[in-house]
Structure 1
Amino acid sequence: MGSLIELVFVLGATAILTVIGIQQDVAKHRSQVLGVEGQNEAVIVKALGSWVDDNFATLLAQYQQSGNPVLTAPTLDQLHAAGNLKQAYAAGPFWGGDYVIQLAMVPDNCSADAGTCHVSYVFYPSQPYTRNGVVDVSGASQIAMAGSTSGAQFGYSSTRNPGTVFGINGAWQATNPLPGTPAAAIVATNGPDLDDGNALYIRRDGSLTWTGSQNVNGVDLHNVGSIDAQGTIAAPAVSASNVAVSNAVQTPGTLQIQNAAGSAPAPVSMGSATITGNATATGTLQAGSIAVPRSACSGTGIAGDYDGSGLMLSCQYTAGVGFIWLPIGGTTLRYAYYNVANGSVVPAPWCPAGGIPAILLDGQGLYTDPTATINLGTQGAGPWTVTITNGSGAGVQGWAVATTYCEF
């Protein structure tokens, strides 16, 4: 009899332990399921943050164009198609409902130019977590904790204050977004620091302006397009293949243009230049061969004869004509002297383009007949044959000086 009673007790105890073991197994399995759900939601939230970073410029443009802080949020399929979500996920949690994503530009009346705009995003299941049809705050907290361990900002609403969702460890709080503000609502966000595309880093798409001075710590910037500056660009050496200056190049001393090695002056090639002071050349000044004698010009320029002969002309005013190119030495340039007699041949000077050879005879020691007439003349247009004759047309003894010219 005693043995039978003992057996009953043993069987009863065994049954109790079995039930407890089953309950513990169920609780363990449930805890694992809730942890997986939290981790899955954290993956989606991380993908959402990455998508916001990638599309910040587009979101900012939408806000600037519409003025509406409510932004177009992506779906899970769009996150997957964009590559932010590496695999497809169900549209909602295992207890029912859908995953909801909301985006907004904050704060109110933020300025893109001032860099004060941020994207605030929230992610949450559309239904509170329930167990056997009853909201389960403990289960919601497990999901939120599991999501937070992956770096996301998760929170949940409690039965004591279901209208407010509190972040883990009270890191943040927000209004419960679910209809009726039930307990066990699970919400994830980018938190009070608004970690988004407008964060600590300089965006590579250029959608944000810098808000402070930058120190690049002596490293180089390569493959730069244009650099526009409102202040001073200071450098011990500036190397450029082309430099466009719209205002002025200022230097505290002499502006020196040197070769690449910095060891000697370098030639300068430019178009028109205006010098308001004096120009001093320690070498040769070479003017372009562009001037056509007696053609129109303007100003007081100096240029070479267009034939490249080296004859220098200046733009001179002539009464009744205006400004024209004329030789700097005058319109009649002397070239050579010759002692000549009757019948001598005088070579013509070589005249630059626009010049005409000319000759002048000056009698010196001459003898004549009673007619008392001496005729000095030339034949030809250069070279010339000199004629020194008397009134009868006969050659006379003596000599003269022939001077050749170029007339312009």
Structure 2
Amino acid sequence: MGSLIEMVVFLAASAILTVVSIQQDVAKRRSEVLAAEGQNEGVIVSALASWVSDNFSNLLTQYTASGGNPILSAPTLAQLKSSGELKQNYAAGPFWGGAYTIQMSMVPAGCTQAAGNCHVTWAFYPSMPYKRNGVSDVEGAAQIALAGNASNGQFGYSSTRNSATVYGINGAWNASNPLPGAPAAAILATNGSVDDGTSLYIRRDGSLTWTGDQNVNGVSLHNVNSIDATGTIAAPTLSASNVAVSNSVRTPGTLQVENAAGTAPAPINTGAATINGNATINGNATISGTAQLGNIAVPRGACSGTGSGTVVAGEKNGSGVMFSCQGGIWLPIGGTTLRYDYYQVSNGQVVPAPPCSPNAAPAVVIDPKSIYVDSTATWNVSFTGTGPWTVWFTDGSSNAGQGVAIATTYCAY
């Protein structure tokens, strides 16, 4: 009898242990299924975030073309797969039924591309709350949200205490329950209400503008196309194959044009050039057009700068006569008496005066070319006037004589 009782107790205990073990296995399996669902949703959310970043420019164009309608066209799971954001196919909804829903909008209201203040906010959620045996299971929804949150998502769920609001894990954020009737155990993932998650970064598509000064930490920028600056470009060294300057080049000192090694001056080829100061040329200068010198030379006035080369300038009054600094004074190039013109003259003919500068005195030299001389008379060649001049050929009796002479006019400084 005692043995029979012991056997009954043993069988009862074994049955209890078996039931407990089965319950534990079921609970473990259920937890694994919920975790897998959360991880899958986390992968989809991560792909959605990448898709928004890659397609922000298109979304902004869509928003602008619609006249500022904030509701955007969200991608499907098939589009996320075809774009390469999702690496494999996923079911269209969770294992308990319903479908995955994606909503997307542009915020804040009235934002513009020009202002650079537009962001995309999105929400991802199953269209049905998680239920167990037909009843909303908040504990299971929490397990799914926790697993999804571990995959870099921002997941939350609604509780029975306040099912109208979905709270993020650890209360990090909250949003309205998107499901009809606002049931408990609704699961939601979002990137926030005022940020698309990428506004802290420089967008590679150029759709978001910088809003402040940037510091690139001393690194180089390569393969840049054009740089348009409204302020100052300051650099100790500027290297360019072609430089187009529409306004001015300013330097606090001498503007040096040097070879690539920076060891010697480099040739320069320009079009028309205006130099408002002195120009020192240490090599050859080829000018295919005209060279206009400054009118600064005062005849016989003091000058300097001849130690390193010949200094030339135009006459100060603008006559067009070119001067050089000779012995510390300005003198005309070609001598102090510049020949102007030739005339063949005879007795009584008038020689016109050259148009000399006010700083120069007109002068004439008469060189007889051929004359007729009476062997018993004296022959004289003379002129009267200070310009014009009248040439006279006379004999010893002051009679007019015959002959031809060359009259050369000058401007004497």
TM-score, with normalisation over the residues of structure 1? 0.70
Q: Which ranges of structure 2 fall in alignment gaps of 5 or more residues?
A: 295-318, 321-332, 343-365, 378-402, 409-413
Between the aligned residues of both structures, percent identity stands at 65
Preserved CA contact (<8 Å) 1:52 1:196: no
User: SS at the partner of 2:12?
Assistant: helix
Does 2:288 correspond to 1:280? no
User: SS at the partner of 1:104?
Assistant: strand
**Could you tell me which residue of structure 1 aligns to residue 135 of structure 2?**
134
Preserved CA contact (<8 Å) 2:116 2:207: no
Cα distance, 1:149 vs. partner? 1.7
Preserved CA contact (<8 Å) 1:100 1:124: yes
Cα deviation 1:125-152 (Å, max 9, x = unaligned)? 0001111222111111111111112221
Cα distance, 1:281 vs. partner? 4.2
User: SS at the partner of 2:58?
Assistant: helix
- Structure 1 Cα separation of the partners of residues 406 and 118 of structure 2: 96
1:186 partner amino acid: I
Preserved CA contact (<8 Å) 1:123 1:188: yes
Cα distance, 1:204 vs. partner? 1.4
1:64 partner amino acid: T
- Structure 2 Cα separation of the partners of residues 238 and 289 of structure 1: 30
- Structure 2 Cα separation of the partners of residues 17 and 221 of structure 1: 70
Superposed, 1:184-223 pairs within 5 Å as 184-191=185-192, 194-198=195-199, 200-223=200-223
Cα distance, 1:289 vs. partner? 7.0
Cα distance, 1:174 vs. partner? 0.5
Cα distance, 1:216 vs. partner? 1.3
Cα distance, 1:399 vs. partner? 12
User: SS at the partner of 1:30?
Assistant: helix
Judged with a 3 Å threshold, the aligned counterparts in structure 2 of structure 1 residues 229 and 9 are, in CA distance, closer, same or farther, namely same
Cα deviation 1:145-174 (Å, max 9, x = unaligned)? 111122211111111111111111111110
Q: Which ranges of structure 1 fall in alignment gaps of 5 or more residues?
A: 291-298, 302-315, 318-327, 335-360, 373-397, 404-408
Superposed, 1:162-241 pairs within 5 Å as 162-191=163-192, 194-198=195-199, 200-241=200-241
**Could you tell me which residue of structure 1 aligns to residue 26 of structure 2?**
26
Preserved CA contact (<8 Å) 2:368 2:404: yes
Superposed, 1:265-344 pairs within 5 Å as 265-275=265-275, 277-282=276-281, 286-288=286-288
Preserved CA contact (<8 Å) 1:135 1:184: yes
Preserved CA contact (<8 Å) 1:56 1:197: no
User: SS at the partner of 2:18?
Assistant: helix
Preserved CA contact (<8 Å) 1:42 1:150: yes
Cα distance, 1:61 vs. partner? 2.0
Preserved CA contact (<8 Å) 1:97 1:126: yes
Cα deviation 1:64-120 (Å, max 9, x = unaligned)? 222011111000000000000010101001110000011111222234344322211
Preserved CA contact (<8 Å) 1:102 1:122: yes
- Structure 2 Cα separation of the partners of residues 197 and 333 of structure 1: 85
Cα deviation 1:159-193 (Å, max 9, x = unaligned)? 11111111111111100000111111011112467
- Structure 2 Cα separation of the partners of residues 157 and 331 of structure 1: 109
Count residues with an aligned counterpart. 322
Does 2:246 correspond to 1:246? yes
Judged with a 3 Å threshold, the aligned counterparts in structure 2 of structure 1 residues 70 and 368 are, in CA distance, closer, same or farther, namely same
- Structure 2 Cα separation of the partners of residues 192 and 68 of structure 1: 16
Structure 1 vs Structure 2 CA RMSD: 3.6
- Structure 2 Cα separation of the partners of residues 195 and 28 of structure 1: 37
- Structure 2 Cα separation of the partners of residues 109 and 94 of structure 1: 39
